[in-house]
Structure 1
Amino acid sequence: MMSPERDVASECQRLSLAADRWRDVSPDERADLAMRTAQSIGCEAGAWVRAAVAMKSVGPDGQDACTDRLRPVLQAEECATGPIATLRLLFLTAQALRSIGKTGVPEVSVGPRMTHGQNQIHESPFGSPSSFVAVDVLPVRRLYDPTIFRGYRATVRCANTGSVETFMKLWQEECQQRPVSEGVAVVLGAGNVTGLAAADAVSQIFEHGRAVLLKLHPVQSSLAPVFRAALKPLVEAGLLSVVVGGAALVTDAISAQEVTAMHLTGGEETFRNVVSSNKKKLLTKSITCELGNVTPWVIVPGNYSEKDLFFQADQIAASIANNSSFNCIATKVVLTSRSWPQRQQFLGRIEQRLESLPARPVWYPGAVDLHQNATGDSVSNGCLQPKLFRDVHRESHPHWFAREWFIPSAVETTVEGESIDDFCVAVSQIVHDLPGNLAASVTRPDGMATHDESRVELLIEHMRYGVVAVNTWSALAYAVANVPWGGFPGGTIESPESGLGYVHNPCFLPLVHNTILRSPLRVWPMPPWFPWHGKGGRLTEGVAEMYSAITAGKSGIWNLVRMLPDVFRG
């Protein structure tokens, strides 16, 4: 805890001196620090996961309510969203910095190219541009993505600069200028996912060249020693200070003249309170934020095989159950066609999966009251089971569509129309009216007629979201760590939507419009983040060990091989 005002001021001064030194550090030296930090995280991964699981095992009464059946599920989730995500971000950051030192820009999966959208076939309902500079950032071969994320492709779409040559020039300038932003950033960490605060700090240090005063969310205050140990190389370099405290500490930090930026990950209400309480002091500072979303998942009607249908249903069930839906991109609205013949079978599979899962402690503050307000049902024993409510419409239940509910519940709503054209028009309007523009998912069948496929592609290309995920949960775009993560461009301080600016842009891509993440309809092996995966905990631990080995200069291949038995048994 840092209580005296002078302590905050002196800490910001100390950080500012380190930021000044950081400006003169070469890309290769910065890469070395990123790799040392990744190795430190690898050493502390077990402690990180144990602390996170303990935090999320406590019910509203303060007692441990985690069952033996639930514990390995939490271990898998916390390892994936904590150590693994941060390890991956640091490795990719180091790789990008080393490439910048050699060639001026990072190495990517597929280099910049001009692409053209579907406007020639259909007019966009929202007037988005029809051409972009596209850059593929996934797969990353050095991290065995062709095996772990087999069939996935992430394409970052940047604003049309007129030519690839012009874009390359802007990209090189961005790689030189952005990492020397100078000063100190106050990072206000989120409380829902333990990896978010660490990643936000890493982004500020390496992508913007700032030192960071990281104030943890009160829910995560017990993890402060873990973060200090895991991020020890950054702390020892004077570039990071991990603190806990309340609103007074935030005000004192923002008031410091050494502070040049503030980043917040959390809810819009929290963001507005921080801004309104510190309005004059923030006028001269860079402000970025990530604020969440009422996340839609659109199911394009068609003829799916049973295996494909069930895998897509399983993904949606897992996206609702994951972290008790205390995620800014937990699925909240599932959109289907009322006339789709496979609708009942699809929804039945989602419900079957959710009903099979153990109830989880309601550990996030305020969730008990939120659940009662949203559903009308009370919480018994301090635990909740994830649930999907069928056939819910805005006209009769507007509250589900008006805000992001931080509870393990989602709704399914139907649209009318016999044709794909009608479906896409209706869905576009519903999705456009939902609060937020962070991320969305679309499931589409294979083997569509040419016209229908073009119409669905138009829908995908013109959805106003920072990430549009096709056939997969949009959270994977955050997990891969090199997809720029933030709301769709256009937010303002007064109307931030899902946020301002981006985190997770280690490739320093300029003029980012959004990203389209694509996946096959069905992937094998079963993703370890599925909560019914029998070996999810062991596999996520294995991936963390593999990434840690790679950051230590090893190939990681034997770590991958050792995971194979659990892959087949999952």
Structure 2
Amino acid sequence: MALPGTSADHQDRSVTPSDLPTILEQLTAGAARWAAIDPRSRAEIARRTACATVAVARAWADAAVEVKQAPGNGPSRAEEIATGPMGTARLCLLTARSLLDIDRSGTPGTASPPRVLHPGRRSVAGTPAPLIGLDVLPARGPSGTLYDPLIHGGLRATIRCHDPGGPAAFLKSWQHEADQRPRGGGVSLVLGAGNVTGLGPADVLCQVFEHGRAALLKLHPLQSSLETVFTVALAPLIEAGLVAILSGGADVARSAIAAPQLTHVHVTGGRATYEAILFGGPRPSGPAPQPRLTQSISCELGNVTPWFILPGRYSTAELAFQADQLAASIINNTSFNCIATKVIVTCRSWEQRQAFLGLVQRRLASLPPRPGWYPGAAAVWSEATGHASPADGTLPWSVVCGVDPARDGRLLEREWFVPVVAEVPLDAGTLAEFCSRALGLSHRLPGSLAASVTIPSGLPETARLHAEQLVDHLAFGVVAVNTWSALAYSLGNVPWGGFPGATMLEPKSGIGFVHDPLLLPLVHNSVIRAPLWSALRPPWFAWHRSGTRLAQGVVDLYGRCAAGQNCLGILLRMFPEVLRG
């Protein structure tokens, strides 16, 4: 039976490794044509891709929960909708709007014009002085509102860019970037990650619309069953000769990299995979080994993700809400996320520390462990915890409290891709001292992708300034205040990648950014902020009673936005589900 929005013939257009030479030639020709297409026409293809994605959203979720060995209507389905078709459709809509804005005025529109942050400030510990800031919420789609105040209520997002000499100079640089970067040309190999189904399609959209490259998407073996779904979702790009999709193992990737038509590689995965691409195998010994890869490369390689809980007085509701958010960041996708919380940083003398950790532990204990579906996860969990993994194949949530990095930093030295978290209590007599020691600890953690910081309300002015200085100086691509940093990825218009400074030999959390439909120049990092407490339970909490219905409702809403249709009916149907929690 054909999937929605396509024909049976369309689903049979699978690509095999033997087709590589022909496919790469076709992609090369497609990229050359793409360079001559005006922004308005590109916007139309992005809009049509949003429509195609929405049409196949339910089939996408069906296939994804099967990969995750999860019940078809359980909390995993809400997660798969949100990180798959919802995120992909939103990114398409944001891209379409940016291209229409470029066609009209030369640069994409944002919620606020560029402004100078911290004018007159001197550089401290490598932080540029000053920065340019742009607020990007609420965002808009090609037909107008995306209803961000309702869907992302209370959330703020500021992208921070290096200052080339004030807002006028920045706008000039931005206009040049928006004109030239999408005409880069060439063909990119996109090596899709296996943990989240939306990553591969999103990376393809980035290569095509943000860099002007055609893209060959090589699916992770875990996601080979989604090849037909992705073929339908990306059909407008495939029909334009800009995208091809194939499954296979490392041999397929090696063949593509060896092809003369390939000009770029983008990989989302682990450090070992990156080094195998760069060197053709394990990293050679020596301080400066010579890469064998001749093409340019961009990557996102994960993170030992910290969540800093600043000491202070929290109300009962605030403490519980922050504990729930932290627990949800561990539960989501069984912690098979590059930004699953791995380190909880507290103050040893904080009087609410034990109460907070107890709330986190109780929330985790209230939900059953999930299957360890990611390859090798059971062995990694056993190594991390020192216990045999359960015979039923699940991976229990594990929080190891009171870890002293000076005595046993094992859990902090690598990204454990399982639901195991270390709590590190820092000795500090004041909030200023805690912030200083927290910043020092952050420099020891591998990775620079994202971090979260919880800040108590009602701080005295001096203490508040210390808290903001910590946020300002954390060297991560995204810093999230009072919420999980993954929300930045879900927004679609917050550049996602490691903190600047990575090189091919020392890539840290990655080289370059994805999710940059605004085509911003000189990106430094981004800060998102959320209220310390909300009366409404966020739908991304695994225990939300209506998470799946709300996630599908947002997908349907984006479909109507893409079609230029009224969304009032969908919003009215979703409202009771929001209140149910």
| TM-score bucket of the superposed structures, by smaller chain | over 0.9
* In structure 2, distance between residues paired with 1:420 and 1:395: 22
> Cα distance 1:523–1:139, how it changes in 2: closer, same or farther (>3 A)?
farther
1:335 aligns with 2:345: yes
Aligned counterpart, 1:543: 554
Aligned counterpart, 1:407: 418
Tell me the alpha carbon deviations over residues 263-301 of structure 1, each in whole angstroms, 9 at most, x when there is no partner: 000011110111111876632x22100000000000001
Aligned counterpart, 2:139: 140
Q: CA deviation at 1:399?
A: 1.4
* In structure 2, distance between residues paired with 1:376 and 1:47: 39
Contact 1:117 1:461 in 2 (8 A): no
1:469 aligns with 2:480: yes
| Gap regions ≥5 residues in structure 1 | 58-65
Aligned counterpart, 1:61: none
Tell me the alpha carbon deviations over residues 48-99 of structure 1, each in whole angstroms, 9 at most, x when there is no partner: 0000000001xxxxxxxx458xx42011100010011111100000000000
Structure 2 counterpart of 1:375, from 385, 388, 404: 385
Contact 1:357 1:385 in 2 (8 A): no
Aligned counterpart, 2:315: 305
**TM-score (normalizing by structure 2):** 0.93
User: After the TM superposition, which residues 24-423 of structure 1 pair with which residues of structure 2 at under 5 Å, given as runs?
Assistant: 24-57=36-69, 66=70, 71-116=73-118, 124=124, 126-140=125-139, 142-277=145-280, 282-283=293-294, 285-380=295-390, 381-423=392-434
User: After the TM superposition, which residues 408-557 of structure 1 pair with which residues of structure 2 at under 5 Å, given as runs?
Assistant: 408-557=419-568
Structure 2 counterpart of 1:23, from 35, 42, 45: 35
Contact 1:9 1:252 in 2 (8 A): no
* In structure 2, distance between residues paired with 1:210 and 1:557: 37
* In structure 1, distance between residues paired with 2:404 and 2:524: 31
* In structure 2, distance between residues paired with 1:371 and 1:117: 48
Contact 1:290 1:499 in 2 (8 A): yes
**Secondary structure of the structure 1 residue equivalent to 2:56:** helix
Amino acid at match of 1:136: D
**Secondary structure of the structure 2 residue equivalent to 1:38:** helix
**TM-score (normalizing by structure 1):** 0.95
Contact 1:140 1:146 in 2 (8 A): no
Contact 1:483 1:515 in 2 (8 A): yes
**Secondary structure of the structure 1 residue equivalent to 2:503:** coil
Tell me the alpha carbon deviations over residues 106-134 of structure 1, each in whole angstroms, 9 at most, x when there is no partner: 010111011117957xx84x231231011
Amino acid at match of 1:414: P
* In structure 2, distance between residues paired with 1:54 and 1:361: 12
Contact 2:98 2:107 in 1 (8 A): yes
**Secondary structure of the structure 2 residue equivalent to 1:545:** helix
* In structure 1, distance between residues paired with 2:16 and 2:565: 44
Amino acid at match of 2:577: D
Contact 2:378 2:395 in 1 (8 A): no
* In structure 2, distance between residues paired with 1:272 and 1:280: 9
Q: CA deviation at 1:524?
A: 4.1
* In structure 2, distance between residues paired with 1:67 and 1:79: 14
Contact 2:120 2:130 in 1 (8 A): no
* In structure 2, distance between residues paired with 1:161 and 1:488: 19
Contact 2:85 2:198 in 1 (8 A): yes
* In structure 1, distance between residues paired with 2:84 and 2:442: 30
Amino acid at match of 2:132: V
Amino acid at match of 1:419: T
* In structure 1, distance between residues paired with 2:120 and 2:460: 15
> Cα distance 1:388–1:43, how it changes in 2: closer, same or farther (>3 A)?
same
Q: Which portions of structure 1, spanning 4 or more consecutive aligned residues, are displaced by more than 3 angstroms?
A: 1-5, 117-120, 278-281
* In structure 1, distance between residues paired with 2:99 and 2:535: 33
% identity of equivalent residues = 48
Amino acid at match of 2:80: E
* In structure 1, distance between residues paired with 2:71 and 2:564: 39
* In structure 1, distance between residues paired with 2:186 and 2:313: 56
Tell me the alpha carbon deviations over residues 299-344 of structure 1, each in whole angstroms, 9 at most, x when there is no partner: 0011111111110000000000000000000000000011111111
Bigger mean CA offset, 127-136 vs 461-470:
127-136
Contact 1:119 1:458 in 2 (8 A): no
* In structure 2, distance between residues paired with 1:337 and 1:345: 13
Contact 2:187 2:215 in 1 (8 A): yes
Contact 1:150 1:523 in 2 (8 A): no
Q: CA deviation at 1:377?
A: 1.2
Contact 1:354 1:385 in 2 (8 A): no
Q: How many residues get paired? A: 555
> Cα distance 1:52–1:67, how it changes in 2: closer, same or farther (>3 A)?
closer
Q: CA deviation at 1:352?
A: 0.6
Q: CA deviation at 1:2?
A: 5.7
* In structure 1, distance between residues paired with 2:17 and 2:163: 50
* In structure 2, distance between residues paired with 1:264 and 1:67: 30
> Cα distance 1:481–1:132, how it changes in 2: closer, same or farther (>3 A)?
same
* In structure 2, distance between residues paired with 1:335 and 1:181: 42
| Gap regions ≥5 residues in structure 2 | 1-13, 282-289
**Secondary structure of the structure 2 residue equivalent to 1:101:** helix
Contact 1:87 1:547 in 2 (8 A): yes
* In structure 2, distance between residues paired with 1:520 and 1:362: 33
* In structure 1, distance between residues paired with 2:192 and 2:262: 16
Q: CA deviation at 1:385?
A: 2.5
* In structure 2, distance between residues paired with 1:330 and 1:186: 27
* In structure 2, distance between residues paired with 1:483 and 1:552: 24
Aligned counterpart, 1:63: none
**Secondary structure of the structure 2 residue equivalent to 1:155:** strand
* In structure 2, distance between residues paired with 1:462 and 1:401: 20
**Secondary structure of the structure 1 residue equivalent to 2:453:** strand
Bigger mean CA offset, 147-156 vs 83-92:
147-156
